[in-house]
C-alpha cells in the first residue's frame, strides 16, 4: 500500500554520504482483482483489504465508483471464498454484455481459480476458463502486458506526491483516492486494446509474443527540428530566458570593437541567477498549492467517522453507501419518535384535570370545591 518503485533520487552536490529516500512506513497488502475485455471495457474493480470489518469511512470517499467492490481478509490476499465472490461479481457485470451463449475467461494458475465451487459456478453460467502456462503471464496475460506496468508507475507517482506533502503513513483512506487516480490513468480503452494486441490475442497474432523472445533493434528517434528564431522581448519563463540570453550573446559576438568575453560572462551570470529565482518561485507556488490541497483532503478524511457496518463478506461502494444512508434514516426516525413522545407527554401533563371537580388549571390539593361545600 505504501511502497514505491525503484527509482533514482536527485539531491544536492553538497550532500555527503548516501542519501535516504523517505517512504511510508506501512507495507500493508491490498489485492486488486481486475478483468478487461478486448473491446476496451473493464469489469468494475474488486479490492481486498486486510481486516475483519467494513468501515463506514471507506464508502464515504466520493471519488470511488459505486460499482467497485470491497472485501476483507485476514492478510489482504485473495482465497478460495473470495475467488468465488469475485466470480459472482464478474458474472453480474458481464452477463448482459455477452455476445452469444458463452464467455471466455483467461486466468492465471492461482489456487482460488481451481476450487471446485469456482469451476461449478463457471459451468452453471457458461463461462469457459483458460488457464495460462506457469511463468508466462508477463507475455500472455493482457493485464500484465499493457495495464499493470502503467498502473504501478502511476501509483508510484501518487505515493511520491503524498510523501512530498509530508503524508508518510498511508492508510486505506489515503490509498483509495490515490489508487483511483492511478487506475484511471492506466486502465484506458486505448491501453486495454493495446494489451490484447500485445499479447497476440485480438487480433490473433502469435508472432507478437514469439518476437519478444528475440532482441530487436530499434529505429533511432528522429532529431527534433529547430524552433523558430527568437525575437528580443522580456522573457516570462526559463525557456524564453534561455532564448533571450542566446540572442544577446550572438549580438555581442558580432560586435568587433572590443572583446565580448566579460559581457558574455555577465550575461551568463544574470541568466543563471534569473533561472534560479524563476524556478524557485514556480516550485514554491506549486508546493504551496499542492500542500493546501493535500492538507484539506487529509483533514476531511480524519474527520470521518470509522464505524463498523459489516463483518466479513463483500460490499460494493453503492451497497456501502446504501447501508450508511439506511442507518442515518433509522437514527433520524428514532430521534423524531423520541421528540414526539416527549411532546405528547408534556401535552398530557398540560391537560391534566383535578380528580375532585374534573376541571383543568388546578389539582385536588388546591381545589376550591371543598371550601364551597363547607360553606
25 pLDDT more than 60: no
Taking the C-alpha atoms of residue 320 and residue 312, their distance in angstroms, rounded to an integer, is 13
pLDDT the model gives residue 122 = 96
Identify the residue with better confidence: 251 or 375. Answer: 251
pLDDT tens digits for 251-306? Answer: 777 766 666 676 676 677 778 878 888 888 888 888 888 888 888 877 777 777 77
* DSSP structure string for 13-50: TT--S-------S-----EEEEEE-TTS-EEEEEEEEE
Q: Which tens digits make up the pLDDT trace of 197-232?
A: 999 988 999 888 887 776 556 677 776 655 566 566
Closest listed residue to residue 229, CA positions, set 250, 256, 254: 250
Strand-pairing partners, residue 353, are 360
| Mean pLDDT computed over 327-343 | 81
Please return the burial class of 180, using the count of CB atoms within 10 Å of its CB with bins 0-12, 13-18 and 19+: middle
CA 352/CA 359 separation, integer angstroms: 9
pLDDT band at 160 (very low <50, low <70, confident <90, very high): confident
Question: Residue 363: is its pLDDT beyond 70?
Answer: no
% of the chain at pLDDT higher than 90 = 34
pLDDT of residue 341: 72
pLDDT at 261: 72
**Mean pLDDT for all residues in the chain:** 81
Q: What is the pLDDT of residue 181?
A: 95
The predicted pLDDT at position 136 comes to: 86
308 forms bridges with which residues in the sheet?
A: 55
116 vs 21, residue with greater confidence: 116
Report how far residue 1's alpha carbon sits from residue 174's, in angstroms, rounded to the nearest whole number.
10
pLDDT-wise least confident of 7-11, 54-58, 82-86, 301-305: 7-11
pLDDT for the residue numbered 6: 61
Q: Is the pLDDT of residue 162 over 80?
A: yes
Residue 375 has pLDDT above 50, yes or no: no
Select the CATH number that applies to the domain covering 31-212 from these four: 3.30.1360, 3.40.720, 3.40.50, 3.30.420.
3.30.420
Between 29 and 221, the more confident residue is 29
Q: What is the pLDDT of residue 45?
A: 96
What is the per-residue pLDDT for 4? 60
Domain extents in the chain: 31-212, 238-302
pLDDT for 36 beyond 80 = yes
pLDDT-above-70 percentage for the chain? 77
Q: Distance between CA 216 and CA 147 in Å, rounded?
A: 22
Q: How far is CA 326 from the centre of its chain?
A: 26
Predicted confidence (pLDDT) per residue in 93-152, tens digit: 999 998 888 999 999 888 999 999 999 999 999 999 999 888 888 888 999 999 999 999
Cell numbers 458474472: residue? 91
How far from 309 is each of 291, 301, 323, CA to CA, in Å? 32, 17, 8
Average pLDDT over residues 228-242: 70
**What DSSP state is assigned to residue 308?**
E
pTM: 0.66
For residues 5 and 66, the model is more confident at 66
Q: Can you tell me the distance from the alpha carbon of 94 to that of 82, in angstroms, rounded to the nearest whole number?
A: 18
> What does the pLDDT read at residue 374?
47
Amino acid at each position: 500500500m505504501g511502497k514505491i518503485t525503484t527509482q533514482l533520487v536527485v539531491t544536492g552536490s553538497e550532500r555527503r554520504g548516501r542519501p535516504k529516500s523517505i517512504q511510508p512506513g506501512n507495507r500493508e497488502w491490498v489485492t486488486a482483482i481486475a478483468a478487461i475485455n478486448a473491446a476496451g471495457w473493464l469489469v468494475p474493480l474488486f479490492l481486498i483489504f486486510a481486516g475483519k470489518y467494513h468501515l463506514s469511512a471507506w464508502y464515504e470517499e466520493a471519488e470511488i465508483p459505486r460499482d467497485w467492490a470491497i472485501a476483507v481478509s485476514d492478510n489482504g490476499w485473495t482465497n478460495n471464498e473470495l475467488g468465488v465472490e469475485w466470480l459472482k461479481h464478474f458474472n453480474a457485470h458481464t452477463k448482459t454484455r455477452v455476445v452469444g451463449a458463452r464467455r471466455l475467461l483467461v486466468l492465471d494458475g492461482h489456487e482460488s481459480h481451481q476450487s471446485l465451487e469456482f469451476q461449478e459456478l463457471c459451468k452453471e453460467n457458461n463461462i469457459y476458463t483458460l488457464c495460462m502456462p506457469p511463468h508466462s503471464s508477463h507475455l500472455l496475460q493482457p493485464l500484465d502486458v499493457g495495464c499493470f506496468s502503467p498502473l504501478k508507475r502511476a501509483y508510484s507517482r501518487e505515493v511520491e506526491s503524498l510523501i512530498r506533502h509530508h503524508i508518510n503513513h498511508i492508510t486505506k483512506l489515503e490509498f483509495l483516492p490515490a489508487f483511483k487516480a492511478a487506475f484511471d490513468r492506466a486502465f484506458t480503452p486505448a491501453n486495454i486494446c493495446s494489451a490484447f494486441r500485445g499479447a497476440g490475442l485480438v487480433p490473433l497474432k502469435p508472432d507478437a509474443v514469439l518476437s519478444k523472445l528475440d532482441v530487436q533493434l530499434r529505429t533511432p528517434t528522429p532529431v527534433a527540428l529547430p524552433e523558430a528564431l527568437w525575437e528580443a522581448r522580456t522573457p516570462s519563463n526559463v525557456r524564453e530566458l534561455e532564448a533571450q540570453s542566446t540572442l544577446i550573446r550572438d549580438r555581442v559576438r558580432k560586435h568587433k570593437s572590443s572583446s565580448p568575453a566579460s559581457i558574455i560572462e555577465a550575461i551568463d551570470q544574470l541568466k543563471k541567477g534569473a533561472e534560479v529565482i524563476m524556478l524557485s518561485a514556480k516550485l514554491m507556488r506549486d508546493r504551496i498549492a499542492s500542500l493546501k490541497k493535500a492538507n484539506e483532503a487529509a483533514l476531511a478524511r480524519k474527520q470521518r467517522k470509522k464505524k463498523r457496518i459489516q463483518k466479513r463478506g463483500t460490499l460494493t461502494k453503492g451497497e456501502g453507501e446504501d447501508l450508511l444512508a439506511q442507518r442515518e434514516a433509522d437514527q433520524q426516525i428514532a430521534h423524531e419518535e423520541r421528540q414526539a413522545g416527549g411532546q405528547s407527554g408534556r401535552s398530557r401533563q398540560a391537560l391534566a384535570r383535578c380528580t375532585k371537580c374534573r376541571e383543568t388549571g388546578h389539582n385536588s390539593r388546591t381545589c376550591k370545591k371543598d371550601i364551597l361545600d363547607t360553606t
